[in-house]
Copies of this chain bind each other. A is one copy, B any other.
Amino acid sequence: MAIRAGIVGGTGYTGVELLRLLARHPDVEIKAITSRGDAGKPVSDMFSSLRGHVDLAFSDPAQAGLDACDVVFFATPNGIAMEQVPALLDAGVKVIDLAADFRLKDVDAWAKWYGMPHACPGVLERAVYGLPEVNRALIRGAQLVANPGCYPTAVQLGFAPLVEAGVVDVANLVADVKSGVSGAGRKAEVSALFAEAGDNFKAYGVGGHRHLPEIRQGLSAIAAKDVGLTFVPHLTPLIRGIHATLYARLTADCDLQALYEGRYRGEPFVDVLPAGSHPETRSVRASNMCRIAVHRPQGGDVVVVLSVIDNLTKGAAGQAVQNMNLMFGIDESCGLELVPVLP
């Protein structure tokens, strides 16, 4: 019997990507997609790419019958899910939040970085951070999964083998990360206009970005001690894609290629490239794959890791489906066997 899925907030880019994936998922039936502002409007009127694939209209959240779903995805702005999740959990529904509401364990840090008090600290404790390559067992048993941010996915998958192996100075990590513009969401903002973001490149948030505490939390958990991280995000004129360039100083000798290949052997969605490779974002476009290469320039003691994902797939909706598959005990790759679109 199909998994009955609901989506709260289906009008953004993570929403339409989730619909693209779920529409072809053999074990899922989409029961409802909510949008307060667009209730009654056929989903395919907003996203013509879905014509013939999704026949639903947006429904009003109050009448969507979400508590009769098996799983509900939140593809909403930060601060929405935490208001609605407790009731759904009480109704026995499994929940995957693609926003940030349940990503940080420290409720004070959450309030500081997101600018509002947390609505349900008690529920926060029960949330599992949904990075399958690190937390697979916990995700399988979770009722509530906090789907990781796009930057944190690329950075943590890139650093994890080094940090787990204890071979780098974790007090001095650098993550220089570049994102496509879809990461800014489908909001009407001048800075994301084609004539602003096109043919242009810039850093932003150097003083502090919300994904910084999330990455630090994840890597510190792996290291079992606090890590020091400099994180600089950049906006680059591509639609989809994240490229993380990671720098760390080796503190022990190590066969880096073997370390990475060993760590990710058998992982369906992490691909360690041959030594000397440079992954490109389009090699994972529209797929759930993360591709990684590890370098040691001129044989020195600096490790450079290159990690690419599609921010809307492995960085958002694809990872959410991967988490759903784990939570329901079906094949982790189900519905995600996507060949990247190149060119």
A109 to nearest B CB, angstroms?
13
Q: What are the residues of chain B within 8 A of A39 when measuring CB–CB? A: none
Tell me which residues across on chain B come within 8 A of A308, comparing CB atoms: 201-202
Question: A224 near B: Cβ within 8 Å?
Answer: no
**A170-205 near B? 1/0 per residue, CB < 8 Å:** 001010101011101011111011111111111110
CB-CB < 8 A to A199: which residues of B? Answer: 198-199, 238-241, 282, 285
Q: Given the complex of chains A and B, what is the CA–CA distance between A16 and B190 in angstroms?
A: 15
Q: Would A206 and B343 count as touching, CB distance under 8 A?
A: no
**Is A234's CB within 8 Å of the partner chain B?**
yes
Alpha-carbon distance A312/B343, docked complex (angstroms): 9
For the complex, is A59 an interface residue (Cβ under 8 Å from B)?
Answer: no
Measured CA separation A280–B182 after assembly (Å)? 18
Q: How far is the CA of A62 from the CA of B312 in the complex (A)?
A: 43
Q: Give complex CA distance A178, B280 in Å.
A: 14
Task: Give Cα A172–Cα B13 distance, bound, in whole angstroms.
Answer: 40
Q: Is the CB of B279 within 8 A of A206?
A: no
For the complex formed, measure the closest distance between the CB of A188 and the CB atoms of chain B, giving whole angstroms: 4
Are A239 and B174 interface neighbours, CB within 8 A? no
* Distance from A257 Cβ to chain B, minimum over Cβ atoms (Å): 13
Decide: B174 and A195 in contact? CB cutoff 8 A: no
- Contact between chains at B207 and A297 (CB < 8 Å): yes
Q: How far is the CA of A50 from the CA of B234 in the complex (A)?
A: 23
Q: In whole angstroms, what is the CA distance A199 to B231 when docked?
A: 23
State in angstroms the CA–CA spacing of A233 and B204 once bound together.
Answer: 19
Partner of A280, one of B52, B190, B201, B340: B201
Contact present for B237 and A237 (CB under 8 Å) = yes
A206-227 vs B, Cβ < 8 Å mask (1 yes, 0 no) = 1110000000000000000000
Q: Are A193 and B186 in contact (CB under 8 A)?
A: yes
Please pick, from B13, B186, B195, B245, the residue contacting A232 in the complex, using a CB distance under 8 A: B245
Chain B residues contacting A182 (CB-CB under 8 Å) are 195, 343
10 sampled A-B residue pairs with Cβ under 8 A: A24-B337, A48-B280, A172-B302, A176-B247, A180-B201, A186-B193, A193-B193, A194-B197, A201-B243, A203-B243
A interface list, Cβ under 8 A from B = 13, 16, 20, 23-24, 47-53, 172, 174, 176, 178, 180-182, 184, 186-190, 192-204, 206-208, 228, 230-232, 234, 236-241, 243, 245, 247, 249, 271, 273, 276, 278-287, 289, 291, 295, 297-298, 300, 302, 304, 306, 308, 312, 337, 339-343
